[in-house]
């Protein structure tokens, strides 16, 4: 069991994965503790958003996004050390940008009343209860799924079916955010833009090398300890 654990979660990737998890949690909770500079949250709905129907079935893909994130980060970070450090740096940058938007430009959405007693309706109701309709732009849900797709594209070689599956699931996650009325269309674009900006900045800034240096120092201390 320990050998299997070390194979899929080698020591170098454990603290980066924990850092990514903590960043996600902070991005969700910090804005709620800070006083937004705007007087009150506002909506970013367009005519296209209004025209889109509510479709409870898409809660399936909204929830599958969590499986995508969990599996993708463990799989790719566990087999590619440099990619692991680059992704944790990009995640820190992306969540910092998200928090700035959430505090300086708070947004909200008017959710529909969920009717029906099916499993999909119950799933939407549960998400509505757990996740307040604020902090929409940029969409962290879309940001994270896009990051998973970018990891798959960077961590070559990968079979074509895997890349295709990541792309299709990512697009379905995007669709789910607007079809269960969790986000507006512009939130999707914002999530992708922030992800790409974070990936771009994590390289030239050299932030990703901090993780590499910290891991090297830990290895040296263990060797001498």
Find residue 42's DSSP bridge partners.
107
Report whether pLDDT(208) > 60: no
Confidence of residue 51 (pLDDT cuts 50, 70, 90): very high
> In sequence order, what are the residues at sequence separation of 6 or more whose Cβ sits closer than 8 angstroms to the Cβ of residue 117?
none
- Output the pTM of the full model: 0.89
> In sequence order, what are the residues at sequence separation of 6 or more whose Cβ sits closer than 8 angstroms to the Cβ of residue 142?
173, 174, 177, 183, 187, 188, 190, 191, 192
Report whether pLDDT(195) > 60: yes
Q: What's the pLDDT score for residue 69?
A: 97
Q: Which two tokens stand for residue 188?
A: 């999707």
- Tell me which residue of 167, 38, 23 sits closest to 92, measured CA to CA: 23
Confidence of residue 13 (pLDDT cuts 50, 70, 90): confident
Task: For 99-142, give the DSSP string.
Answer: HHHHHHS-BB--PPPP---SHHHHHHHHHHHHS-SB--SS-HHH
Cα separation values, 88 from 20, 80, 144, 165, 202, Å: 6, 12, 12, 23, 9
For residues 182 and 62, the answer to whether their CB atoms sit within 8 Å is yes
CA atoms within 13 A on the CB side of 59: 16
For residues 104 and 137, the answer to whether their CB atoms sit within 8 Å is no
Domain locations in the chain as residue ranges: 2-224
End-to-end CA distance of the chain: 26
- DSSP conformation class of 53: P
Backbone phi and psi for residue 42, each to the nearest 5 degrees, phi listed first:
-130, 165
Q: Please write the tens of the pLDDT for every residue from 62-98.
A: 999 999 999 999 999 988 888 999 999 999 999 999 9
Q: Please write the tens of the pLDDT for every residue from 107-158.
A: 999 999 998 889 999 999 999 999 889 889 999 999 999 999 999 999 989 9
Q: Which two tokens stand for residue 198?
A: 């974070």
């Amino acid at each position: 069991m320990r050998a299997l654990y070390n194979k899929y979660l080698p020591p170098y990737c454990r603290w980066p994965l924990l850092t990514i998890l903590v960043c996600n949690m902070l991005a969700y909770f910090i804005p709620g503790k800070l006083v937004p500079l705007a007087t009150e949250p506002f909506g970013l709905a367009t005519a296209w958003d209004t025209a889109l129907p509510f479709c409870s079935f898409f809660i399936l893909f909204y929830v599958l996004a969590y499986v995508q994130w969990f599996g993708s980060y463990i799989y790719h970070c566990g087999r590619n050390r440099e990619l692991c450090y680059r992704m944790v740096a990009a995640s820190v940058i992306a969540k910092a940008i998200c928090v700035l938007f959430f505090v300086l430009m708070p947004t909200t959405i008017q959710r529909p009343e969920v009717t029906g007693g099916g499993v999909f309706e119950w799933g939407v109701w549960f998400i509505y209860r757990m996740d307040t309709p604020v902090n929409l732009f940029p969409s962290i849900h879309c940001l994270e799924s896009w990051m998973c797709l970018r990891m798959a594209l960077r961590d070559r070689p990968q079979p074509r079916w895997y890349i295709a599956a990541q792309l299709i699931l990512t697009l379905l996650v995007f669709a789910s955010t607007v079809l269960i009325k969790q986000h507006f269309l512009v939130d999707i674009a914002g999530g992708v833009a922030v992800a790409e900006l974070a990936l771009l900045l994590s390289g030239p800034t050299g932030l990703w090398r901090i993780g590499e240096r910290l891991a090297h120092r830990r290895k040296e201390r263990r060797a001498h300890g």
